[in-house]
């Protein structure tokens, strides 16, 4: 499977998702991207985050207040730091880390996620796909 992924993913996406890597801050696809839609695991297509929960954190990576699906959290003590690593459930892709310094009005969490682990599905393209159920996230009076 790793050989297939090496062919299918960019070098950076493979490094991030399969080797627990980190892409450079501020030089990645989604850190300042705020189009309406959902973000899915680049490996499995598993839905992960909604643009409704994305916020500007000035950290250089996409930041979300919460996921739209269950994720796996793991203790990470690499690089002499104590952090909580976030991984996708289906593909076990390394996504990034979660911190408790997010906006209090959004729940206080900041999911700091590598763009290289994500694929964006625009709102207009959700209908008629396996992601159609996520259209309801965007209904008025829901957030």
Neighbours of 117 (CB within 10 A): 29
Q: Which region holds residue 115: left if phi is over 0, alpha if psi is between -120 and 50, else beta?
A: alpha
Q: Name the H helices within the chain.
A: 2-8, 11-19
The closest of 137, 22, 45 to 91, measured between CA atoms, is 45
What amino acid positions are annotated as catalytic residues? Answer: 112
Return d(Cα 11, Cα 119) in angstroms, integer: 15
């Amino acid at each position: 499977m790793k050989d297939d992924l090496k062919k299918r993913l960019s070098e950076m996406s493979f490094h991030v998702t399969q080797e627990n890597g980190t892409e450079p801050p501020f030089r990645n696809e989604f850190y300042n991207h705020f189009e309406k839609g959902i973000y899915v695991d680049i490996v499995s297509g598993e839905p992960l985050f909604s643009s409704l929960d994305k916020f500007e954190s000035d950290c250089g990576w996409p930041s979300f207040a919460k996921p739209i699906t269950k994720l796996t959290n793991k203790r990470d003590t690499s690089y002499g730091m104590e952090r909580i690593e976030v991984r996708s459930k289906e593909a076990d892709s390394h996504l990034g880390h979660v911190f408790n310094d997010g906006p209090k009005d959004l729940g206080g969490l900041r999911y700091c996620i590598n763009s290289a682990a994500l694929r964006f599905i625009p709102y207009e393209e959700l209908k008629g796909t396996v992601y159609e159920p996520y259209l309801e996230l965007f209904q008025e009076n829901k957030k």
